[in-house]
Amino acid sequence: MSFALSQTPKYPQLPSETPATVNIPVDLADYSRRTVMIPMRDGVRLNTIIVVPKTATPNHKAGIVLTRTPYSAEALTTNAQSTHLGSSLYGYDNATDVIVQGGYIRVIQDIRGKYGSEGDYVMNRPFLGPLNPTPVDHATDTYDTIDWLIKNVPESNQKVGIIGISYDGFTTLAALVNPHPALKVAVPMNPMVDGWRGDDWFHNGAFRQQNMSYIYEQDGSRANGYKWPTSNWDDYAMFMRAGSAEALAKERGLDQMGFWRKVLAHPAYDEFWQDQAVDKILAAQYAKQPPTFPIMLVHSLWDAEDIYGAMAVYKAIKPLDKNNMVSLTIGPWHHGGAIDDGTTLGQLKLPADPSYWWRQTVLGPYLASYLQDTPPANPKPIPPVTAYQTGANKWQGVPYWPLAKKTTKLYLHADGLLSLNEPTAAEVPSTAYVSDPAKPVPYRPRPSRTAGYEPDNGWANWLAQSQIEQSGRTDVAVFTSDVLTAPIAVAGEPIANLIAATSGTDSDWVVKLIDVYPDEVPGDPHMGGYQLMIAADIFRGRYRESLSTPHAIPANTPETYRFNLPNAYHVFIPGHRIMVQVQSSWFPLYDRNPQTFVPSIFLAQPSDYRPATQTIFHSTTQPTFIELPTLTNP
């Protein structure tokens, strides 16, 4: 039986009070907002929002500041309650004060496959080549977008700058590959560059499993509509209960997502990852034709997400910069902190606001020099490197990076000592601890939440959290110097030279360089005894011989593990001490190493996870030390 719906209302209806459309009076706001679908060369149209300040007119043209994002152009440009341009732009990727003060046209575009844009989404879409046989990538999409903008925005002065953080930093770098002639300046901030070496997906082979929820939501739908199924307030408990990362993926349905299947198929640094590394791509391009327009790379010293990318690109392309187009900023920030409040870094207090100072003193004049028809008169030159020296807490303009030309070896000793002196024959030659996969070392105090920026999450600043809790664990080897009587200034990448053995056949090694504050800090009691990580990273032991081909570790045999820690620009001041911590898990940020060699740790079974005795050697013939790039005059 079926029933037909009556076309005539059964009861009398009141007239609707809701209009078909709502138009904000055009004279009320100090800007206009346009939404357009810009066609790409393959016919796909990309949703683009153009925000034009009323100071920009066809007779008084302005430069364009472009960002290409997977995070919703609509959300980043819409504040229906505001009639002011500055308040209409939300924080992420919007250096709002600089954009408003510069009078720029703000353009934010959804990348293909996300939110209002057409086309298929591919995570960090590879550039044209073996991994992408199509005619389009982020470089061509940026080129086509800029070409359309300069022809169709009458208020434009034909000068375009591109800026972006994180994923949007990756798309900013993509614009540098065969760039459009109207692109005059680029500011890639904390960009995703190499997902295996040290950005979002792996660090030196160890999988960053707390990004599984990001993959689920980013890959799951055009508008991130499918949310990661939660079951625990504490991620530590959730990952432990599931076992391996792949077991959790199957449990939560992550295996439906195409990018997860790629990650699962490529645990080593094979051609899949190597061919996508943006630093390698740009180095190959600039070896043929050096940069022809200015590029400012922005790096955050406590970046919990993309601490590798900006410095890797700088290292790759600066030697090819024949025209002095490439500059660098190194700031005391978390991921994206340059456009955030910079007065604190977690519990660490910083004088003034380093973020605001940088935006007003460096970023603003830098963009104005290349995007405004009449740049500021007598602008102060931007130094090749603008770097904030923590410890001394001051901005400095320096000529190059790394600044240090001297290497100082910091040796591990028996009885938990650390010094600039080599070990002696009289010392106990090694220190041992037991690493138990059933009780991995937390990377931050529990409960640890999924990576994100909710106010109560704590994710953004975890790299600056005190390591005092970890220093009391029996599965963390701790080495501490005497109280310093003279400053030691680090300016570059510390290098871990670890000689270690494991009773297992695989192992992870985490090395942390730490500034230990005095037991009491006058005027700031919460910093008493604080253990601030200055540089820290993880290395998966199976890749000690080859990053692309894993090898089992011979049990109970000393092996050398040499790997770079992230860049530091820091002064260990008198009255402080230096600490090095060594451990074999950093959970649940990184998946547990079963400590039994298996072809893929993603597929490790419960029986593969076994305790192992880890031995750190510090003898005259087998010294473990940290190479510190130090300044002669701190």
Q: How confident is the model over 404-424, as pLDDT tens digits?
A: 999 999 999 999 999 999 999
Q: Could you tell me if residue 564 is inside a domain?
A: yes
Q: Could you tell me if residue 328 is inside a domain?
A: yes
pLDDT band at 457 (very low <50, low <70, confident <90, very high): confident
| pLDDT higher than threshold 60 for residue 1 | no
Give CA–CA dist 57/50, Å, rounded: 14
Residue 27 burial by Cβ neighbours in a 10 Å radius (0-12, 13-18, 19+): exposed
Q: Could you tell me if residue 5 is inside a domain?
A: no
Across residues 502-508, what is the average pLDDT? 98
Residues 6+ positions from 250 with CB-CB distance below 8 Å: none
Whether residue 447 is preceded by a cis peptide bond, meaning omega within 30 degrees of 0, is yes
| pLDDT higher than threshold 70 for residue 3 | no
> Would you list the DSSP string of 112-164?
TTSTT--S---TT-PPSBTTB-SS--HHHHHHHHHHHHHHH-TTEEEEEEEEE
User: How many Cβ atoms sit within 10 Å of the Cβ of residue 235?
Assistant: 23
**pLDDT reported for residue 5:** 52
Whether residues 172 and 220 fall in one domain: no
Q: Could you tell me if residue 19 is inside a domain?
A: no
Whether residues 251 and 287 fall in one domain: no
The region, left, alpha or beta by phi > 0 then psi within -120 to 50, assigned to residue 253 is left
CATH number at residue 189: 3.40.50.1820
Q: Which amino acid is at 124?
A: N
Token output for 8: 């005539």
Across residues 456-473, what is the average pLDDT? 93
Whether residues 79 and 171 fall in one domain: yes
Residue among 518, 514, 552 at smallest CA distance from 536: 514
Q: Which amino acid is at 433?
A: Y
Percent of the chain having pLDDT more than 70? 97
Whether residues 242 and 301 fall in one domain: no
Whether residues 74 and 115 fall in one domain: yes
Q: Could you tell me if residue 355 is inside a domain?
A: yes
Across residues 318-335, what is the average pLDDT? 97
Q: Could you tell me if residue 286 is inside a domain?
A: yes
User: How many Cβ atoms sit within 10 Å of the Cβ of residue 351?
Assistant: 8
Residue among 589, 580, 582, 592 at smallest CA distance from 440: 592
Give CA–CA dist 530/515, Å, rounded: 8
DSSP 524: -
Q: Which amino acid is at 497?
A: N
Query: Do 358 and 339 touch, CB atoms closer than 8 A?
Result: no
pLDDT tens-digit readout, 187-228? 999 999 999 999 999 999 999 999 999 999 999 999 999 999
**Among the three residues 269, 290, 316, which one is the final residue of a domain in this structure?**
269
Q: 77-86, 181-190, 214-223, 344-353 — which is least confidently predicted?
A: 77-86
**pLDDT reported for residue 4:** 52
Q: Which residue has the higher pLDDT, 231 or 621?
A: 621
Q: Which amino acid is at 588?
A: P
Q: H or E element: which one contains 67?
A: strand 62-69
Q: C-alpha 380: how far from its chain's center?
A: 30
Give CA–CA dist 112/222, Å, rounded: 9
Give CA–CA dist 372/378, Å, rounded: 14
| pLDDT higher than threshold 60 for residue 95 | yes
pLDDT tens-digit readout, 421-438? 999 999 999 999 999 999
The residue segments making up the domain with residue 216 are 202-269
Beta strands in 481-624 (DSSP E): 488-492, 495-502, 508-516, 531-540, 559-564, 568-572, 577-583, 612-617
Q: Which amino acid is at 586?
A: W
pLDDT tens-digit readout, 18-56? 998 776 676 788 889 999 999 999 999 999 999 999 999
Token output for 541: 């032991």
Whether residues 91 and 108 fall in one domain: yes
Give CA–CA dist 178/538, Å, rounded: 35
Token output for 598: 């298996």
Whether residues 310 and 376 fall in one domain: yes
Residue among 148, 154, 142, 181 at smallest CA distance from 36: 148
Question: Hey, is 214 helix, strand or coil?
Answer: helix
Pairing of strands 183-189, 295-300: parallel
Q: Could you tell me if residue 12 is inside a domain?
A: no
Give CA–CA dist 263/308, Å, rounded: 19
**pTM of the full structure:** 0.95
Question: Hey, is 249 helix, strand or coil?
Answer: helix
**pLDDT reported for residue 10:** 81
| pLDDT higher than threshold 60 for residue 241 | yes
Whether residues 497 and 589 fall in one domain: yes
**Among the three residues 398, 420, 445, which one is the final residue of a domain in this structure?**
398
Q: C-alpha 403: how far from its chain's center?
A: 22
**pLDDT reported for residue 26:** 67
pLDDT band at 380 (very low <50, low <70, confident <90, very high): confident
**Among the three residues 378, 398, 418, which one is the final residue of a domain in this structure?**
398
Q: Into how many domains does the chain fold?
A: 3
Whether residues 574 and 459 fall in one domain: yes
**pLDDT reported for residue 86:** 80
**What mean pLDDT is reported for the chain?**
94
pLDDT tens-digit readout, 103-143? 999 999 999 999 999 999 999 999 999 999 999 999 999 99
Look up tokens 């680090």; give the residue: 490
Whether residues 480 and 545 fall in one domain: yes
Q: Could you tell me if residue 14 is inside a domain?
A: no
CATH number at residue 231: 1.10.3020.10
Q: C-alpha 471: how far from its chain's center?
A: 26
Across residues 345-364, what is the average pLDDT? 95
Give CA–CA dist 49/43, Å, rounded: 19
| pLDDT higher than threshold 60 for residue 80 | no
Q: Which amino acid is at 75?
A: A
Whether residues 554 and 599 fall in one domain: yes
Whether residues 509 and 534 fall in one domain: yes
> To 5 degrees, how large is the angle CA 448–CA 449–CA 455?
120
